[in-house]
């Protein structure tokens, strides 16, 4: 099944306040329309999570459902776009979704220090940047899901230890804080919860930070040693979680069996097949990216085979049809 999903700019700003993937923004700019191809692979991924939340009444012989999925595949095959579309669909369904469109930012920039309580490395500027600037502050997440959150009682009674604030150190005389009633999300059972992390592969390599070892040497700090990454990286739990690899931000090839990830979690997203490529080229033709005189079946196949089904390359080659 191949179709086109058309978005409005206002809808995208409301449903995805964290921001859009770079590839999606480039597609919208080049095609002059907020629309994306709905691929069968996206429908398979969506239906996988739909069956988890709403199991069919009759048992079927379909593919095994997976609560934890890692989107992998060749460069520019649409992994980030598919993840953003999944988040859009889930929020339209009324799910609670934690969406991180730029996971690499959790391991680069700002400053860091070792937390004496956890022996992990805290990145307070990164925490502030991610949860306030990039997610338009945590209150935007609460605002979008306000009606759902009001139904959730607090189920954690123990106070939460406070860390060091960005540039201000520890608060004097205060080392913990009680959770306000109705703000706890970790034990939500009545409402589907999805964690969606883009650039997930950056959480399995070394960060930008280095720890001094001697006067003349340092050792790199691995991403798993960072407090924020350590809290969200693992997929060894019963919650629904999707992580998308980003080859544009990769610093090396990862091994197939990743730590803290189920062995069957990989979902390999292929490049466009010939039917999908034809649908994309016809869409570009309607958008006047390709002139009518040169738009032929032969030229369409040339673009497909020259790009090997790479969506970004197809978009750049299509206007060059002669």
What pLDDT digit, counting tens, does each position of 89-127 carry? 999 998 888 899 989 989 988 888 888 888 899 888 777
Query: Which residues neighbour 131 within 8 Å (Cβ) at sequence distance 6 or greater?
Result: 137, 138
pLDDT at position 133, please?
40
Q: What is the CA radius of gyration of the chain?
A: 22
Please identify every stretch of the chain with a pLDDT value under 70, giving residue numbers as ranges. 1-2, 58-60, 129-189, 250-252
pLDDT at position 130, please?
61
pLDDT at position 190, please?
72
Calpha distance 281→274 (Å, rounded): 10
Calpha distance 151→185 (Å, rounded): 11
pLDDT at position 160, please?
55
pLDDT at position 43, please?
93
Tokens encoding 149: 């959150």
Contact between 290 and 296 under an 8 Å Cβ cutoff? The reply is no
């Amino acid at each position: 099944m191949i179709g086109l999903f058309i978005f409005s700019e206002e809808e995208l700003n409301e449903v995805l306040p964290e921001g859009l993937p770079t590839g999606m923004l480039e597609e919208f700019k080049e095609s002059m329309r907020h629309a994306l191809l709905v691929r069968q692979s996206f429908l398979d991924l969506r239906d996988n999570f739909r069956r988890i939340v709403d199991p069919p009444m009759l048992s079927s012989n379909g593919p095994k459902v997976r609560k934890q999925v890692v989107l992998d595949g060749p460069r520019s095959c649409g992994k980030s776009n598919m993840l953003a579309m999944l988040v859009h669909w889930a929020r339209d369904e009324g799910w609670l979704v934690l969406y991180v469109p730029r996971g690499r930012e959790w391991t680069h920039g700002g400053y860091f220090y070792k937390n004496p309580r956890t022996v992990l490395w805290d990145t307070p500027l990164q925490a502030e940047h991610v949860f306030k600037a990039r997610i338009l502050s945590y209150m935007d997440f609460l605002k979008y899901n306000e009606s759902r959150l009001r139904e959730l009682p607090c189920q954690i009674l123990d106070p939460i230890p406070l860390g060091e604030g960005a540039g201000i150190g520890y608060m004097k005389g205060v080392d913990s804080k009680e959770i306000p009633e109705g703000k706890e999300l970790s034990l939500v059972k009545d409402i589907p919860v999805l964690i969606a992390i883009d650039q997930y592969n950056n959480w399995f390599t070394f960060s930008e930070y280095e720890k001094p070892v001697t006067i003349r040497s340092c050792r790199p700090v691995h991403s798993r040693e960072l407090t924020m990454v350590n809290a969200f990286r693992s997929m060894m739990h019963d919650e629904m979680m999707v992580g998308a690899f980003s080859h544009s931000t990769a610093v090396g090839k990862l091994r197939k069996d990743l730590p803290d990830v189920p062995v069957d979690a990989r979902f390999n997203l292929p490049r466009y097949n010939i039917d999908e490529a034809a649908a994309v080229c016809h869409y570009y033709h309607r958008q006047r990216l390709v002139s009518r005189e040169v738009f032929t079946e032969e030229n369409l196949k040339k673009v497909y085979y020259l790009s090997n089904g790479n969506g970004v390359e197809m978009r750049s080659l299509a206007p060059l049809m002669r």
